[in-house]
């Protein structure tokens, strides 16, 4: 989905307006989005639950409306003991696991260094040095001049040119694949909590797709605005 610069500017302003709403309105807005998502999928939904603050708030909101909705926790083996204990104490929580360990992911695919965006760009540039990612490693490129220093990855050239194995596949293998498998087996679709402010990638996803996405060819999303500069959405 492509949007014009004018449309993007309007959506950014709309997002800022939502983020500046008082708390009680954000709660109501979030609940309305939850109802839409729940009804669209006839209640065949679940909450992607990590035990962190955002997914905990989302689980509370969802269960304030639909107490029967299960929480699903992907046990990657990397969680703090306190988080694992909290998850065990949360009712109606299903635990699923990836097929391989984090160590095996690093050995097979590489390290998700700096951020997923940087790791993915390095991975793609190594695969195709003259492809579309080339401009991101040139601080004098028209692309960087147009979009700003945020998109200038030239400082990571030494990392790109090193012999360190780098990949953005960690999240796909450790979290997304087990989730997709659960969804295929149960027919359920996920509520997922992330923050638009966490990364430019997540902000752009919000601007492109809005609050709820019902695209059956991709992971369904819930992006209800809640809290200071927070948006519930997918990564």
Asked whether residue 126 falls in the same domain as residue 196, the answer is no
43, 152: one domain? no
Residues 27 and 141 reside in one and the same domain: no
Chain segment 18-44, per-residue pLDDT in tens: 777 788 888 888 899 899 999 999 999
Number of C-beta neighbours around residue 33 at 10 A: 21
Distances (CA, A) of 22 to 3, 13, 17, 25, 227: 29, 17, 10, 6, 9
Task: Please state the length of the chain.
Answer: 235
Say if 165 falls within a structural domain.
Answer: no
Tally of structural domains, the chain? 2
Shared-domain flag, residues 88 and 191: yes
Let me know: does 166 contact 124? Beta carbons within 8 Å: no
pLDDT tens string 86-123: 999 999 999 999 999 999 999 999 999 998 889 999 99
- The answer to whether residue 232 is domain-embedded is no
Residue 11's Cβ-side half-sphere holds a number of Cα atoms within 13 Å equal to 16
**Mean pLDDT on 132-151:** 90
Asked if residue 116 and residue 34 are part of one domain, the reply reads no
Q: Answer yes or no: is pLDDT of 12 > 80.
A: no
Q: Is-contact 228 221, C-beta < 8 A?
A: no
pLDDT tens profile 176-196: 999 999 999 999 999 988 765
CB 154 within 8 A of CB 138: yes
**Same domain assignment for residues 67 and 177:** yes
Residue 29 domain flag: yes
- Specify whether 50 is located in the same domain as 155: no
Residue 187: HSE in the Cβ half-sphere, 13 Å Cα cutoff: 4
Q: How far is CA 195 from the centre of its chain?
A: 8
Position 29 scores a pLDDT of 85
- Same domain for 115 and 153, yes or no, is yes
Q: What is the pTM of this model?
A: 0.75
Domain that holds residue 145: 110-160
């Amino acid at each position: 989905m492509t949007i014009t610069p004018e449309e993007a500017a309007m959506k950014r302003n709309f997002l800022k307006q939502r983020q500046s709403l008082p708390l009680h309105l954000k709660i109501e807005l979030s609940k309305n989005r939850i109802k839409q998502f729940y009804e669209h999928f006839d209640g065949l939904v679940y909450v992607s639950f990590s035990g962190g603050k955002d997914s905990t708030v989302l689980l509370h909101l969802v269960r304030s409306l639909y107490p029967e909705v299960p929480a699903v926790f992907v046990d990657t083996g990397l969680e703090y003991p306190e988080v694992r204990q909290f998850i065990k104490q949360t009712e109606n929580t299903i635990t699923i696991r990836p097929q391989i360990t984090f160590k095996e992911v690093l050995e097979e695919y590489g390290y998700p260094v700096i951020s997923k965006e940087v790791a993915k760009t390095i991975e793609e540039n190594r695969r195709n040095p003259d492809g579309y990612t080339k401009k991101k490693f040139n601080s004098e490129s028209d692309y960087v001049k147009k979009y700003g220093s945020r998109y200038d990855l030239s400082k990571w050239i030494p990392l790109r040119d090193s012999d360190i194995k780098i990949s953005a596949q960690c999240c796909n293998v450790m979290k997304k694949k087990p989730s997709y498998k659960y969804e295929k087996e149960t027919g359920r679709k996920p509520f997922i909590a992330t923050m638009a402010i966490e990364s430019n990638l997540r902000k752009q996803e919000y601007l492109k797709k809005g609050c709820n996405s019902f695209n059956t060819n991709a992971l369904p999303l819930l992006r209800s605005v809640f809290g200071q500069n927070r948006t519930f959405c997918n990564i």
